[in-house]
Amino acid sequence: MADQLVLVINSGSSSLKFQLVDPVSGVSRDGGKVQQIGEPSSRAADHEEALRLAFEQMAESGIDLKSCGLVAVGHRVVHGGKHFYHPTLLDDDTIAELDKLSELAPLHNPPAIRGIKVARKLLPDVAHIAVFDTAFFHDLPAAAATYAINRELAQRWEIRRYGFHGTSHRYVSEQVAGFLDRPLDRLNQIILHLGNGDSASAIAGGRPVETSMGLTPLEGLVMGTRSGDVDPGVISYLWRRAKMSVDEIESMLNHQSGVWGLAGENDFRRLRQMIESDDGSAQLAYDVFIHRLRKYIGAYLAVLGHTDVLTFTAGVGENAAEVRRDALAGLQELGIVVDESRNFSDDKGARRISSDDSRITVLVLPTNEELAIARDCVALLAEL
Ligand code: ADP
């Protein structure tokens, strides 16, 4: 049988990531990122040019999208709102519905929709499918999904904890079961997705029961440039006292906060160097990041009651051994013992970093959202 390939597109406000994936073997044939879209220094003035550049790159690698066996374009869409929690075939009607969701996710959904429109224009003959970052958390228990705010207001404006990074949490939780050779429905897991955005989830028997992001991807852990949890009172205080507008406050919390807001740097490699050269702001940023992470780990151990396995994933989780060490240091009474040499080994790929006598297994497991999206796409095509 000829190859079936899926082009996965992750379209952000100023960048477009793409990967051409074989959903069966998991091999990525080509991929890349067009950055700084729309900025004067960029090669791409808009998302259409960015996608054309992606096509050029693939052509240079010898890939002809018309004849390579492309069966679908999978689009990562951040917010699925109340109604979108399955992979969804995109047509004019579904795109119009998605457009409406932009009010719920003004920072994230509009660039994805731009990517969808451009990709449909340039590749009109294949199926375009949206896969939602919120989908996995759609059935979060009501106690975890509900904010304790006025109920009528929340219902009217569809305010709940939606959760994000769901594609990654689901993919990793399934891979964990495979790696441990245990049934997913018998495992209680904590997953820490630590990249530029950071989120944690507690998953009982394959079903998520808690996650750290909420109505938007701003809630929860301290992130690269996002604050994570703050007292909501900070917002009204800044509005009233500093006379900042809502847009300014939102932008500050999303783009000028987190590790970057405290240290002026959000790449953990640079942050480590700064700490080693006694930069006090970098040390504080790191300490705040770790403190919040430990708080969530403790909370999720309590939510689950019994935990079998805790897994680190994404850029920081997979690569920053110090973060893993410091997040779990001194937790032997809670059943977690990290093996120093396993944690600091240069191994890549799925690996165990807990010691043999740790009651809770600790893993590092690379996420692969593109592959998960590609597989969702072919599964949907098979149903049609
Ligand atoms: P995104 O949320 O953009 O998908 P990633 O999961 O790719 O992010 O994570 C990107 C982050 O991972 C970088 O900002 C950097 O802080 C961190 N990172 C990547 N490689 C390393 C490394 N070798 N050591 C420490 N941190 C790393």
Output the six-digit token pair for 300: 């999720």
Whose CA is closest to atom 13 on ligand 1? 267
Least confident of 3-17, 160-174, 258-272, 348-362: 3-17
Average pLDDT rounded to a whole number, residues 264-270? 96
CATH number of 5-132: 3.30.420.40
Question: Residue 366: which region, alpha, beta or left (left: phi > 0; alpha: psi -120 to 50)?
Answer: beta
How buried is 142 (Cβ within 10 angstroms: 0-12 exposed, 13-18 middle, 19+ buried)? exposed
Distance, CA 295 to ligand 1 centroid (Å)?
Answer: 22
Phi, psi at residue 73, to the nearest 5°? -110, 120
Cβ(100)–Cβ(78) under 8 Å?
A: no
Per-residue CA distances from 233 to 63, 229, 236, 241 (Å): 53, 11, 5, 12
Give dist(CA 184, CA 316) in Å, integer.
25
The more confidently predicted of residues 384 and 302 is 302
How many helices (H) and strands (E) are present in the chain, helices listed first?
A: 15, 12
Asked if residue 74 has its Cβ within 6 Å of ligand 1, the reply is no
Kindly list the domain boundaries of the chain, sorted by start residue: 5-132, 183-364
Q: What angle do CA 275, 278, 281 make, to 5 degrees?
A: 65
Asked if residue 319 has its Cβ within 6 Å of ligand 1, the reply is yes
Same CATH fold, 183-364 and 5-132? yes
Looking at residue 207, its amino acid is R
Asked if residue 197 has its Cβ within 6 Å of ligand 1, the reply is yes
Query: What does the pLDDT read at residue 125?
Result: 94
Give dist(CA 151, CA 373) in Å, integer.
34
Average pLDDT rounded to a whole number, residues 25-37? 93
How buried is 60 (Cβ within 10 angstroms: 0-12 exposed, 13-18 middle, 19+ buried)? exposed
Query: What does the pLDDT read at residue 40?
Result: 86
Query: What does the pLDDT read at residue 41?
Result: 85
Measure CA 83 to chain center.
Answer: 20
Cβ(96)–Cβ(140) under 8 Å?
A: no
Residue 337 annotated as lining a ligand binding site: no
| pLDDT tens-digit series, residues 197-240 | 999 999 999 999 999 999 999 999 999 999 999 999 999 999 99
pLDDT over 70, % of the chain: 99
Q: What is the 3-state secondary structure (H, E, C) of 24-58?
A: CCCCEEEEEEECCCCCCCCCCCCHHHHHHHHHHHH
CATH number of 183-364: 3.30.420.40
Q: Which atom of ligand 1 is nearest to the CA of 320?
A: 25
Whether 133 is a known active-site residue: answer yes
Asked if residue 268 has its Cβ within 6 Å of ligand 1, the reply is yes
pLDDT bracket for residue 39 (50, 70, 90): confident
Give dist(CA 277, CA 274) in Å, integer.
5
Phi, psi at residue 32, to the nearest 5°? 175, -170
pTM value? 0.96
* Mutation pick for ligand 1 pocket among 269, 275, 371 (CB with most ligand atoms within 8 Å): 269
Give dist(CA 177, CA 273) in Å, integer.
36
pLDDT bracket for residue 14 (50, 70, 90): confident
Cβ(42)–Cβ(36) under 8 Å?
A: yes
The neighbouring-strand residues paired with 372 are: none
Query: What's the order of all strands across the beta sheet hosting 127-132?
Result: 28-34, 16-21, 5-11, 70-77, 127-132, 88-89
The pLDDT of residue 56 is above 80: yes
| pLDDT tens-digit series, residues 63-120 | 999 899 999 999 999 999 999 999 999 999 999 999 999 988 888 899 999 999 999 9
pLDDT bracket for residue 357 (50, 70, 90): very high
Query: What does the pLDDT read at residue 107?
Result: 87
Query: What does the pLDDT read at residue 2?
Result: 65
Average pLDDT rounded to a whole number, residues 376-383? 96
